[in-house]
Structure 1
Amino acid sequence: MGEPTPPGRRHLPHLIVPGSGIDAGYKGRQARGGGGLREILDKVGHSAKLTADLEHSDDAARAALAELPENLRGDGFVVTVTCWSPGHHLALERLDARGAKLLSVQPETEEQPERALVWMPFPAVADFLRLFEQFATEHTSSGKPKNAALVANIEELRLSMLQELWQENEPFPDPSETRWWEIWLVKLNKGHEPVSELRQVAEEFRWPIADAALAFPYRDVTLIRASAEELGILLTTNAIPGELRNPSSTEEFFTVDRQFQVDLVQDLEDRIAVADPQAPAVCVLDCGVLASHPLLQASFDGTHTVIPGTTSAPVQGATHGTEMAGLALLGDLDQHLVSSHPVRLEHRLESVKILRGQHDDQNDPRLYGKVIADATSRVEIEQIRPRVYSMAVTSGDVKGSDGRPTSWSSAIDALAIGTEIAPSATGITLLGMPDPSASRLFFISAGNVTNVDWHADHLAVSDSRQIRDPAQAWNALAVGAYTDRADPPVAPMFAGYRVMAPEGELSPFSRTSVPWGKGRPIKPDIVMEGGNLLISPSGTFDQHDAVQVATTSGYPGRLVTTANATSAATSQAARLGALVLSRYPTLSPEAVRGLLVHSAEWTPTMRAHFPSPRAQSAKPRRHALLKRYGWGVPTERRVLTSAASNVTLIIQDEFQPFALSGSGISMRAMRLHELPWPSDQLQGLMHEQVRMRVTLSYFIEPNPSNRGWQGRYAYPSHGLRFDVIRPTESRADFQRRLSNEAEGEERGVRPSSTVDDRWEFGTQRRSSGSLHADIWTGDGAALARCGVIAVYPVGGWWKQNNRRDRVDLPVRYALLISLLAYSPTDIYTPIAIKIGVPVAIEI
């Protein structure tokens, strides 16, 4: 549906619910292992085959080791373990034992089974050979072959090749080509320093290596320049690469100038009342901002740079940062330039120059995670204040990202959850203990469809062009673009021109996560105005000012220009985030992110693509459209205010979901919230449709290595889910159902009890990433009996890796619930009275 138009009073403040929920008992169980086991009829033959494979790999590794200088020789080798068939899985946790280290997992395809790369220390070879022998000769108390979980599904073991560490979707580079690589190094034990080991190898073979590195719990990441043929020797050193990737590069930015009117700008400058110096700010991470611009200078509180040897000012021709700053402060300038009303600003601006220019293509081996960490540090040391970060910068990789974490996106996730940043000999360490009080909110552009891919069927193009790194970061708010700019220019020379996208449709510039597989977050989260394209009568494409967004210009002698695409959309979204911080200063970054998503609505054009709820496969189709449009378009009114018939409740809470249980960690509790439901008013809507919308927003601590997506190798530290008690369900039945659902999710099984067709998406499709939302529609009387909502945990790597240092760490979340009555019913006042919020009486 389009934007609701509830009757009655509008522009009422959202209701922040005081107090907290209560812990309720949780019955969790350990997650089970991978897929079913193959039945081996010839156990002796299978054992002998695997024994020969491992012994041959051991011999080959020792021969290669003898060719290295003695000080570089490693303590083991890398072996590839192949599963026997697609649809089945290796026992990854059993391969990551007895000193062996699981490096990465190549997921199965229709043609290829799952493969795991494992570092095998030489002393561990005898242990694994013994396990193979026991499989052939011994049985468990139940009569099954011993070690079957490990051995049965293994088809082959062999010495690994460097190419198998490649994590990109493009072919492996020419082995003879000397190039920069992003190399993810394995920490073999607590005191192991793989970057130092790599530096020794690099020094021996004269390979250039980056000065900086990023440290994660199980990986160190840096960059090195060599050919694949040369890097192959690393597999027999202690500088073990777990993954190889392309280095990140920045996306080019394109804008089209428009003629400005100096008198209009002067008039607007005179009408602007700037915000208080301590007000919240948008920090623009870009190529520098022209802070002397007359519409920006009074609101600027500092410009910084993290680019060595440069000032914080943009270089000549680098205007993108100034354009983004104008949108982040003022939004679309058109609305102000044609008005005569005062403009009272509620937030301010900051800038950090993270790019040398709009086309920063220097082959500088920087780690962008470190760049962003340095940028946040600069502004936070300068001034303590509420702020959001706006970054319309993505990877220039044409093939984009498939949603897997990278060093860049993982660093953003770590910074978002408030991880302490500590200096190290090789750069910075990102992942210490998360500190929710230091959490940050990042707005990141989804990435653009460039001119080489423009096509009249722009939706098909956008659905096949994947969101770019680092917008897949779970904790960030990724912004795509839509457009309402559907009117071609009226000048005679544009007769016969038409717009590519109709009003309210996805912008032709916007990328999506439609191609992403399971386990990836849903991106973009929201869409904002990003402009349109014109199509001439001959079929050529034109970026015209009339279908773009007006903003401040960074060109000397010009004051106004236009911007478009997901860059413009991101800056406008960041402005909304700063406005939320100004109106609701007690909200956490998780709550601000959740409120923007919660306030978004699909336009009528978008909604027209959604199938009827009763249509066959309706929910999968809706899920695909969610990956295109996100949750829709948030407007300033919906983000900042409720109405009498459309009220938003905001709950901020935290709890400890885990507890020590014997030698491991188990689920401790779920969190129940008794909602201040307007029961009498809802009962009065017995035969009328009402809508409930729920959004759960929380931040996770990332585990970025590509070692699978489940159990101890999961990317998120933990997961949270929400559900609402059903009209006919008792409290005890509700808790029992949620315990079963959480247990089932850990096992990869969904109980049939989760089906509830009144939800737009349902539990199976709303639970990707760390931001979950859904919409329930039914009659008022049924909703009156749905006044309890639960937040419950599911395991991540904190639980599965037995991280006892995280057991006592509370997890924070924001829960947003909206009730919409389509008839003129005041549901705001009774809720406000229940939670003790004064409400003005209209006379």
Structure 2
Amino acid sequence: MAREAGLEVFSEEELEPFEEYPEGFLPAQGSETLPRTLYATIPTIASFRQMLSLWRAHQRDETAPNGAAPWWEVFDLLLELRPWGPEDRLGEDARTIIEDRLAFTPDDDQISIEFEIWPTESAAKRKKWREEVELRVASRAGTILDRSSISETGFVYEALLVELPCMAVREMLANPNDINGLASIEGIQFILPQTIGQALPNGSDKAEDDNALQGTFDENAPIRVALLDGTPVAAHRALDGGVVIEDLHDLVPLSPVSQRYHATAMASLILRGDLQADGAPLTDTRLISVPVLIDQESGAETAGNRLFVDIVHTTLMQLIGTDEPVAPDIFVVNFSIGVRDGHFAGRISALARLMDWWAATEGLLFVVSAGNVGSLVLSRTTTTAVENADVTSRRMNIRGAMRNTIFNRTLLAPSEAMNVLTVGALSLDLTHHASPQQAGIFKLEDDGEFVPQVTSAVGLGLKRSIKPDLLEAGGCLEVRARPYGHDVKLCSVDRSSRTGLVTASPPGQNAIQKSRGTSPAAALVTRSLLRAAESLTGEGGPYEGRELTRFQNALLTRALAVNAARWPQDAIDLYEEERARLGKNQHLRAKEEVCRYFGHGYLNNLLMCESPEGGVTLVGLGKIRKDGAQIFRMPVPPSLSGEKLPRSMRVTLAWFSPVDTSRAQYRLAALKAATINEPNDEDDGNWGFDMKSDGLDENIIKRGSVWSKRLKNRVQTIPEFDEGANIPIRVECRDASGGGLSPDDDISYAIVVTLQVETEVQFDIHQEVEQELRVRLS
């Protein structure tokens, strides 16, 4: 309606309702509800005055003047009309972070601040507003460190990174409404602390590895994966021949070789996995490393004089976006980087928007670590009580503490992005470590349990979508319990040689380290994606001998990963606990709570590359448009007809949705699958095998850009099928934004279906389906 009234809508944000406030949290001014929708527009001053006059007339219940009826339709939806002001540009979260960075800093020192300009498509407006910011910064003895102006179809970003005297920033915070102040500039959308991407070493002291490594890398293999991180030690014997470093931003000389921990570990895990549990090199790909961070003793960080969003965008442009791309064959980007203090609070970050745009436009699959969060405070207890508690009691206390501090443990940007694969970490090693534990150090889980690391950031994502998408082993996390006033603080043991994933390490060619956290978990998922892509086109694969496009590789492997994720028993136990805690008729919220920690589940790597025992996995590709539908026909194994067998089925769709930040419904395209044949048929929901939903509800799986439904029946007889029968799986596409999706947009997608008999049988379902498909193709 706002557009029909002639406004250029820059952003429309739908704020999520709070169903349960954590301990100690109350809405502002005692309100019981929070505003749901904010329309942000910037008309001219004259047009705003006219609009304000109309608004006042509407508030007096006057009839709309001639030609103003569209305005009355807009006003009927509004609670308040006011210009975008300092309190909007300088939000409470940003203010708090800036104040923390200012603490104990002299007035004459400098601090870096980012100014994001309204993302209008008008280059002239953006230039005018940028120049006004530059003038006011100069008047306060500030310096422009970096500028970014990105104007692509579907993504606009205009920003300045400035260095200001601390006194000037303190004045802005103290009096944001000053008409001549920085926060009152019309063209500013947000004033933010500098976006600092960081990757912590989180490893043990290095040691020498005398074990022989399996195989070598093919130096002529295509480059299919990009690592955006610090600088790896490419000459390490675990990486030699598999890594190409492209120093697009002149950062390599700034990273001492002895400090190149993080990128070296990530490259090692991608190319060889855990060096003790696996160690086999990828045979069909090499890795290109583009340093976007500077390695130092405390970890890797972004350059202090650059806008991180601009660094990432220019990196991707040079890799695949020019007429002479540096790495045209890449389809997956490993991004084990989190933004410091960048906790997701409902508003998607510019970096996440950038990744969503690249995914939808170019078919890049970003694998992003969910982020690592800090220590956890357990209230009203003692270190002795915590150390001596049994695992069940300790876990109940930890879950309560995490619920009460949920706003400080949310996803770190850019892992909230809709089109990326967000990875959380299980407290799990891939090799057995038998060294004795030191006094005061303990694990939070029993051996064999699949529990998220207590430091792994939790979801949900944008519009309560499932985030993280899945979990992977992130190394066994040990903790110490330390007194904290009348409470206890659980602190992770970051440097330990007892636990963790075994990776390459600087500085020498044989050094190894132990790595823990969401970063190594994401790297292992990237490795699984690359191996799955190889199996798709390799001998015996469904696309044997074919060269898949970037979009096809990205979507197929993304769908396979989610389809291969399983809730472990610990997730099911958590669901039952949440149902008991929340009370009757709260099963949906209970499942959402499980998704915060487990997403779709723990990744079963074998199921990405082969069918399960007693089952078959089918994959497919397609393109679809708004309100369109396509039908895939899954052959029915003849031996199943009329048999009383426990069976399960999983159907997963993955697509890269176009996005529009000017709409509250940021995601434009929503896909789903149904068991119907013709448009007038009804979906009975049992998928032809008399099965019902087992796992996540439709209301949860429909929110993101992956749709994955699981069904099961353990006791009833399978219906009888005629020879040559098949199950129609109808893929449908709708506009999820209320008008933003063009009917001319092709939405590429992948579908993965797994049918499994969960008992030993004398026949081979995989072979029967394969034979039926051969008959169809002949």
TM-score (norm 2): 0.76
In 2, the alpha carbon distance for the partners of 1:307 and 1:770 equals: 32
Q: Kindly tell me: are residues 621 and 295 of structure 1, through their superposed partners in 2, closer, same or farther at Cα, counting changes over 3 Å?
A: same
In 2, the alpha carbon distance for the partners of 1:279 and 1:159 equals: 53
Q: Kindly tell me: are residues 372 and 459 of structure 1, through their superposed partners in 2, closer, same or farther at Cα, counting changes over 3 Å?
A: farther
The residue that corresponds to 1:660 in the other structure is none
Conserved in 1, the CA contact under 8 Å of 2:344 and 2:411? yes
The residue that corresponds to 2:237 in the other structure is 294
Counterpart amino acid of 1:404? R
Conserved in 2, the CA contact under 8 Å of 1:369 and 1:407? yes
Conserved in 2, the CA contact under 8 Å of 1:693 and 1:776? yes
Conserved in 2, the CA contact under 8 Å of 1:692 and 1:775? yes
Counterpart amino acid of 1:672? I
Write the mapping of 1:767-778 to structure 2, written as runs, cut at 5 A: 767-778=702-713
Conserved in 2, the CA contact under 8 Å of 1:577 and 1:596? yes
Q: Kindly tell me: are residues 551 and 470 of structure 1, through their superposed partners in 2, closer, same or farther at Cα, counting changes over 3 Å?
A: same
Q: CA deviation at 1:761?
A: 2.0
In 1, the alpha carbon distance for the partners of 2:732 and 2:249 equals: 44
In 1, the alpha carbon distance for the partners of 2:368 and 2:588 equals: 28
Q: CA deviation at 1:277?
A: 1.9
In 1, the alpha carbon distance for the partners of 2:576 and 2:428 equals: 23
Conserved in 1, the CA contact under 8 Å of 2:614 and 2:758? yes
In 1, the alpha carbon distance for the partners of 2:442 and 2:343 equals: 29
The residue that corresponds to 1:10 in the other structure is none
In 1, the alpha carbon distance for the partners of 2:673 and 2:181 equals: 46
- Select 2:310's aligned residue among 370, 373, 386: 370
Conserved in 1, the CA contact under 8 Å of 2:218 and 2:241? no
The residue that corresponds to 1:641 in the other structure is 610
Q: Kindly tell me: are residues 656 and 116 of structure 1, through their superposed partners in 2, closer, same or farther at Cα, counting changes over 3 Å?
A: closer
In 1, the alpha carbon distance for the partners of 2:136 and 2:440 equals: 66
Answering whether residue 265 of structure 2 is matched by residue 323 of structure 1, we say yes
In 2, the alpha carbon distance for the partners of 1:322 and 1:191 equals: 41
- Select 1:393's aligned residue among 320, 337, 357: 337
Conserved in 2, the CA contact under 8 Å of 1:577 and 1:593? yes
The residue that corresponds to 1:762 in the other structure is 697
The residue that corresponds to 2:773 in the other structure is 835
Answering whether residue 2 of structure 2 is matched by residue 94 of structure 1, we say yes
Q: Kindly tell me: are residues 253 and 536 of structure 1, through their superposed partners in 2, closer, same or farther at Cα, counting changes over 3 Å?
A: closer
The residue that corresponds to 1:577 in the other structure is 529
Residue aligned with 1:94, SS: coil
Write the mapping of 1:173-184 to structure 2, written as runs, cut at 5 A: 179-184=111-116
The residue that corresponds to 1:787 in the other structure is 727
Q: CA deviation at 1:317?
A: 1.4
Q: CA deviation at 1:215?
A: 3.2
1:277-332 alpha-carbon deviations (Å, 9 max, x no partner): 234543221111111101211222x2012334644975441311111111111111
- Select 1:198's aligned residue among 117, 130, 135: 130
The residue that corresponds to 1:816 in the other structure is 752
Answering whether residue 294 of structure 2 is matched by residue 356 of structure 1, we say yes
The residue that corresponds to 1:442 in the other structure is 366
In 2, the alpha carbon distance for the partners of 1:362 and 1:377 equals: 19
Q: State the identity as a percent.
A: 17
Conserved in 2, the CA contact under 8 Å of 1:214 and 1:369? no
Residue aligned with 2:681, SS: helix
Conserved in 2, the CA contact under 8 Å of 1:655 and 1:811? yes
Answering whether residue 668 of structure 2 is matched by residue 717 of structure 1, we say yes
Answering whether residue 420 of structure 2 is matched by residue 469 of structure 1, we say no
- Select 2:636's aligned residue among 677, 692, 697: 677
In 2, the alpha carbon distance for the partners of 1:631 and 1:487 equals: 24
Conserved in 1, the CA contact under 8 Å of 2:231 and 2:252? no
Conserved in 2, the CA contact under 8 Å of 1:234 and 1:241? no
Conserved in 1, the CA contact under 8 Å of 2:118 and 2:188? yes
Q: CA deviation at 1:166?
A: 3.7
Answering whether residue 739 of structure 2 is matched by residue 800 of structure 1, we say yes
Q: CA deviation at 1:646?
A: 1.8
In 1, the alpha carbon distance for the partners of 2:179 and 2:719 equals: 64
Q: Kindly tell me: are residues 466 and 817 of structure 1, through their superposed partners in 2, closer, same or farther at Cα, counting changes over 3 Å?
A: same
The residue that corresponds to 2:451 in the other structure is 505
Q: Kindly tell me: are residues 596 and 102 of structure 1, through their superposed partners in 2, closer, same or farther at Cα, counting changes over 3 Å?
A: closer
1:212-235 alpha-carbon deviations (Å, 9 max, x no partner): 233364753313436435785589
Counterpart amino acid of 2:310? K
Conserved in 1, the CA contact under 8 Å of 2:293 and 2:300? yes
Counterpart amino acid of 2:190? E
Answering whether residue 328 of structure 2 is matched by residue 384 of structure 1, we say yes
Q: Which runs of 5+ in 2 are unaligned?
A: 18-26, 379-385, 387-393, 483-489, 538-547, 686-690
In 2, the alpha carbon distance for the partners of 1:133 and 1:304 equals: 61
Q: CA deviation at 1:827?
A: 1.7
In 2, the alpha carbon distance for the partners of 1:263 and 1:374 equals: 40
1:436-484 alpha-carbon deviations (Å, 9 max, x no partner): xx42111111101234769965545666211100011111111110133
Conserved in 1, the CA contact under 8 Å of 2:618 and 2:752? yes
Conserved in 2, the CA contact under 8 Å of 1:290 and 1:314? no
In 2, the alpha carbon distance for the partners of 1:555 and 1:653 equals: 47
- Bigger relative CO (Cα 8 Å, ≥ 6 apart): 1
Q: Kindly tell me: are residues 376 and 619 of structure 1, through their superposed partners in 2, closer, same or farther at Cα, counting changes over 3 Å?
A: same
Answering whether residue 143 of structure 2 is matched by residue 208 of structure 1, we say yes
- Select 1:621's aligned residue among 577, 581, 590: 590
In 2, the alpha carbon distance for the partners of 1:299 and 1:280 equals: 9
Q: CA deviation at 1:675?
A: 2.3
The residue that corresponds to 1:16 in the other structure is none
Write the mapping of 1:724-739 to structure 2, written as runs, cut at 5 A: 724-725=675-676, 731-734=678-681
1:2-29 alpha-carbon deviations (Å, 9 max, x no partner): xxxxxxxxxxxxxxxxxxxxxxxxxxxx
- Select 1:590's aligned residue among 541, 555, 569: 555
In 2, the alpha carbon distance for the partners of 1:320 and 1:101 equals: 41
Answering whether residue 248 of structure 2 is matched by residue 306 of structure 1, we say yes
Q: Kindly tell me: are residues 461 and 757 of structure 1, through their superposed partners in 2, closer, same or farther at Cα, counting changes over 3 Å?
A: farther
Write the mapping of 1:59-74 to structure 2, written as runs, cut at 5 A: none
In 2, the alpha carbon distance for the partners of 1:236 and 1:378 equals: 35
Residue aligned with 1:364, SS: coil
Counterpart amino acid of 2:593? A
- Select 1:408's aligned residue among 351, 359, 384: 351
Q: Which runs of 5+ in 1 are unaligned?
A: 1-92, 418-433, 658-666, 739-755
Conserved in 1, the CA contact under 8 Å of 2:223 and 2:330? yes
- RMSD between aligned residues: 3.9
Conserved in 2, the CA contact under 8 Å of 1:581 and 1:592? yes
In 2, the alpha carbon distance for the partners of 1:188 and 1:644 equals: 54
1:701-721 alpha-carbon deviations (Å, 9 max, x no partner): 23235xx52xxxx21232222
Residue aligned with 2:659, SS: coil
In 2, the alpha carbon distance for the partners of 1:737 and 1:183 equals: 52
Counterpart amino acid of 2:225? V
Q: Kindly tell me: are residues 620 and 471 of structure 1, through their superposed partners in 2, closer, same or farther at Cα, counting changes over 3 Å?
A: same
Counterpart amino acid of 2:505? S
Q: Kindly tell me: are residues 782 and 306 of structure 1, through their superposed partners in 2, closer, same or farther at Cα, counting changes over 3 Å?
A: farther
The residue that corresponds to 2:422 in the other structure is 478
Counterpart amino acid of 1:512? V
How many residues matched?
Answer: 670
1:594-653 alpha-carbon deviations (Å, 9 max, x no partner): 111111122233333233999843333123212211222223321111146221111100
